Amino acid sequence: MSFDAASLERAFAQQFVERRQLLKELRQYDDEKLLSLYEERKFLERRCNELHALHNGAVEGVCKLLKSRQGLLETAESNQEKLLGEIDGLEAKIAELQQQVADEKQQCHDAEQANEALQRKLEAVRPESHDKRTQEDATKDVPELKHKLDGVADEAEEATPEATDMAEPHKGTADQTPTSGEDIVELTKRLKM
């Protein structure tokens, strides 16, 4: 089988065109692929930056939370110490108040006992003081009794000699000041008769 030069040239030209078209298609495919890869790279880079920023923000947030937690723990410990101190102070105050209440109860008990003792003494002394007051009241009435006796004697003198004789003993008795409560009581009875 024989090939002429023109046929070979056309065949080579056809192959060249086909290869060139293939290369062109390959180059276009590569360009599209490269462009796609470039877009993907840009997306991944942007995504990585976002993730990196999120990571940094998360780390910063965790650090802030840890610092805040540490501050809260320190504040809680400080408040706990203050509260414990206040509780100790309140317990001491309660103990002091309980002691004061016990002392006041004891004082009230002692005062009640002293009051009962005074009541007993007062009840024991009351009859004596009553008798003394009766005698003193009777002694205060002596001038009035003397005046009444003198009046009776004067009326008896003006009435009859017999009445005068009867009134003389009373007049003498009126001049004599009673010296005891019994004399005063007796004198009062005689006036009422």
How confident is the model over 133-187, as pLDDT tens digits?
Answer: 555 655 666 566 667 667 666 665 665 554 445 445 444 444 454 445 556 556 6
Residue 67 lies in a domain: no
Residue 183 lies in a domain: yes
User: The domain containing residue 165 runs over which residues?
Assistant: 141-192
pLDDT > 80? residue 69: yes
Number of folded domains in the chain? 1
For range 82-86, the mean pLDDT: 93
CA torsion 90→94→100→105, rounded to 10°? 160
Residue 162 lies in a domain: yes
Where is average pLDDT lowest: 48-62, 77-91, 97-111, 143-157? 143-157
Residue 71: both structure tokens together: 């501050």
pLDDT > 50? residue 46: yes
So what's the pLDDT on residue 28?
85
Residue 58 lies in a domain: no
Burial 152-184 (b: 16+ CB within 10 A, else e): bbeebeeeeeeebeebeebbebbeeebeebeeb
Higher pLDDT, 30 or 148: 30
Tell me how far the alpha carbon of residue 99 is from its chain's centroid: 19
Residue 9 lies in a domain: no
